[in-house]
Every structure is written in structure tokens, then in C-alpha cells.
Structure 1
């Protein structure tokens, strides 16, 4: 059953995703800078998510309104600044397009409006975490906490799992990676994960429940290897695990039967 019927509803949802995707780029670009400035007691009246106005990071020229049209401006400007012709990061285009595609997938998978809105919230937060960690190897606490608390609140009425499963999932998600991190450090004197990864897995446990933690970690491990190859990381170089966790969490939440390790094993070994 689809949450809504008709072409107009779908178009309206995609337009919403089109506009929100542009804001997500602002969050991805500015939030890491804000955290760095916070350490130096910077005045956030002059730099935050709203100020200063959109500008070229290379020549600092304020952009015209038509330079900020999601997706279209990148194509019109041929991927470069209108003023100094410096290439624009492809990430802006990728984020906006990715969010539209994610919302379209959520639309077709959600059996109710409440689940669709939950999917959309999860997708927005996870997409920000994905690209910030991909670019900076850093996950802002505010995004992890928003994902964690929203998951716990949504599951107070058992939307994806029981409240008890959500709480235990959050606790074990954090403690599981925390313990594994210290085991790796104790045996190799190397840091296998960042503390942001602990909090992110806790948030995914709050959304999906304790029973899905192993499945999420298994998928994330496979995806992490693929992403490492995509980013051409050499042995010994740090690899962001957050993006792999975000993809695994999304697949487990939106496609729980398709990307389920137990179902895979049953199909592989033919057991009932």
C-alpha cells in the first residue's frame, strides 16, 4: 500500500526533497567549520548556518540567487564559479540528487505517512553524517544526538521496534563498538574507530532495535571495504566508517527483509 496516490503528491514530495537537499549542503559545508570555530570562541552571529550569505569559497564573491538553484545551477554554470571560474565541488550536486532519490525510495517503501516521515528524517540526518565523515573523518555530536533521540522517540510507540529494544539497541550499539575499539587498541596500539562511530551505531540501534545491530555491522563492514576501494585508501590510512554505517542503517530500516543476513543464509543454504 502506498502512503499517497496520484502524480501530484509524488511531485510535491520530490519538490520538497529538492529544496531540503540544498539546505543539507549548507549543513554539510558549514557544520564542521562551526565546530572548529567553537574551539576558538568565535562569534556565531557572523558565521552560522544562515550567515554569511552563500559565496564562493575561493574568491569570496556573494552568489546571485540563480547561482543557488539546486541541481540546475551546477549544470548552468558548468560546474564552476560564475566569477572566478574555480571548479565547484561535485558534492553539492551529488547531495541534492541523492536526497531526491532517497526520498523517492522512501515514498515507494513506506506503508504509512508516519513511517514515510520517519524515513525522510533518518535519510536527511544520515546523508549529512555520510558526507561530513567522508570529507573530514569527523561526525558532529549534534547530528548523532539528533539521530539517537529521534529514534528513541519514534519507537516509544513501537514504529520500527519496541521501546525496550530501542533503548537496549542504543546502549549495546555504543558499548559494542567501544569495547571493540579498546580491544584493537590493546592488541595493536592503533585506533580502529572514532568515538563518533560509537554514537552513530547507538543511534542506529535506537532506530532499528537491538536484534538488528549485528546485521547492520555486517553490512557496514562489507560496504566499508567497498568505500575504501572507491576512495583509493592505502593500507594504514584512516578510513571513515560512518558512511558505511549510514548506508547499512538505511538499508536495514527501509529494506529490512531484503538486506537481512538471516534471510541470506536461508536462501544460500536452503533452510526453512
Structure 2
């Protein structure tokens, strides 16, 4: 790669993350609707029921962006990541309907996290893979937050990429990746069934198992316990805060995928630093 100062690479990663963040918003909002329509279509075909004739949801790549309220197509200057939302003061230019805060938040998050990845790993193949992992985790978190769904198309793709990367020992070797995937899946699968046997309720979805398996394939089995502990801690803090503020009813289920994704990303970027800090504090190291 060209010999440029690290700050240039970090800035480039931030701009790239901003652009990708705009696309991630499209994935978060459109992919679940596309999958739901495909499942309904398959169910109609299997049952021999005539389709309802409802228009198929817009595609992820080909269809142009439009206001979800008034359906007016957006001009190029209305679709500049982050800046258009700020210039329009969070409202549609054509119908003045408020634009969801999700759009700038996802774009800003993608910008910051992408820059952090390159700052941490430099202009390397590790950083390139890390960017892919980061963007996938952001998209999965957004989808799970909205729908409590972690699509197999994304979790299993992330799993397979992690296994393939182990062939070149980029993060883990093949043995570690396979063990990480298997233990990651079976650990939450066991918790799921234990909780169901004790309470008769489902505590989490199968997508959570697959997401943790994917993280295990990327980072090996040694990362699984810290990721589970971090995700549980963050989930308890966020959930407890929302319930205390009456922003979330106690009986309403809360998606766990975003917390797994958050914990996985933190450990991917700072796992070694966190472990060494723990060793120093505990007096072991």
C-alpha cells in the first residue's frame, strides 16, 4: 500500500465509513422487508395460495432513495451522508416530515468506528477485514434493534468469512476458528434451552447463537467468555436504565444482538489492552 501518514489513512477510512454508513441505513431498513416478502412468497407457493398482489418492497441497490412518508425521490443533494440531514434540519425537503435520527447516527457511528479500526491496525489487511466486520455488526445491530431479527444471510456470511480468514491465520488459525464457532453457538444454545426449561419462555433467538459463533470464528474461543460477559453487562446497564426511565416496559423483550455485536467489536479492537489492564489491576501480571 502507498506510504502515507497514518492520519491520512484514518481520515480516508472515516470518509469511506461515512459513505458505507449511508448504504448500511438502506440495508437496515430494506433487507427485513425484502426477506419478509420473500418468506410470504415462498409460503404462498408451498401452500398453493394465490399471492396478494402487493408490490414487492424496494431492492437494496437498484431502487433510488425516497422519502418513506411522501415517497418523493430524493435528489443527490438531499442524500449526502450526514450533511443533508443537518442542512435539512432533520426534515424532508418535500413534505417536512421529521427524518429518523437513525440515519445520521448510523452514518456517524460507521465513520467513527471505521476510523478507529484503521487507527488501531494501520493500513493493513487486518484493518480491511476489520472494516468488513465493523460494517456487518452495525447493520446486524440496526436490523435486530428494529425487528428482533438477525438474518442468516448476514450472520452465516460473517461466520464463513471468519473461517476462511483462519486459513491465512489473519486472526485465528483453523483449529481456533472452528472451536470458536462451535463453542460460541453451543454456549448460547445451552443457555437458551436451560432458560426455556426453567421458565417456559424463550430468552433469546437463534440468530444470537449464530452471531456469537461468527465472532468465535473470527477471534477464536478465547474471546467468547469476555464477549458474553461484556454483552451481558452492557445489556443489563442499558436495559435497567431504560426500564428505570420508563422508556421500555419490563415485559417487552429487548434484542440481545446489538449488545453481542458491541461487545465483539470492543474485544476485537481492544481485547489485548483490556486483558493486560485486568491482569495489572488484579495483580496477576
Shared topology, TM-score over 0.5?
A: yes
Separation (CA, whole Å) in 1 of partners of 2:231 and 2:7: 35
* Residue 268 of structure 2 is aligned to residue 253 of structure 1: yes
Separation (CA, whole Å) in 2 of partners of 1:250 and 1:163: 21
Change in 2 beyond 3 A, CA 1:6/1:242? closer
Segment of structure 1 superposing worse, 185-194 or 56-65: 56-65
Q: Answer yes or no: is the 8 Å Cα contact 1:45–1:51 preserved in 2.
A: no
Separation (CA, whole Å) in 1 of partners of 2:26 and 2:17: 14
Separation (CA, whole Å) in 2 of partners of 1:267 and 1:200: 31
User: 1:27 corresponds to which residue?
Assistant: 27
Q: Answer yes or no: is the 8 Å Cα contact 2:30–2:57 preserved in 1.
A: no
Change in 2 beyond 3 A, CA 1:86/1:230? farther
Aligned equivalent of 1:243, options 243, 254, 258:
258
Change in 2 beyond 3 A, CA 1:166/1:17? same
User: 1:10 corresponds to which residue?
Assistant: 10
User: 2:195 corresponds to which residue?
Assistant: 184
Q: Answer yes or no: is the 8 Å Cα contact 2:22–2:81 preserved in 1.
A: yes
1:125-155 per-residue CA deviation (whole Å, 9 max, x = no partner) reads 0000111111211111111012111111112
Separation (CA, whole Å) in 2 of partners of 1:125 and 1:239: 20
Separation (CA, whole Å) in 2 of partners of 1:125 and 1:44: 28
Segment of structure 1 superposing worse, 157-166 or 174-183: 157-166
* Residue 108 of structure 2 is aligned to residue 133 of structure 1: no
Secondary structure of the 1:257 match is helix
* Residue 237 of structure 2 is aligned to residue 226 of structure 1: yes
TM-score by length of structure 2 reads 0.88
| Aligned residue-pair number | 268
Separation (CA, whole Å) in 2 of partners of 1:12 and 1:177: 38
Separation (CA, whole Å) in 1 of partners of 2:228 and 2:89: 39
- Alpha-carbon RMSD across the aligned residues, in angstroms, is 2.0
Change in 2 beyond 3 A, CA 1:98/1:134? same
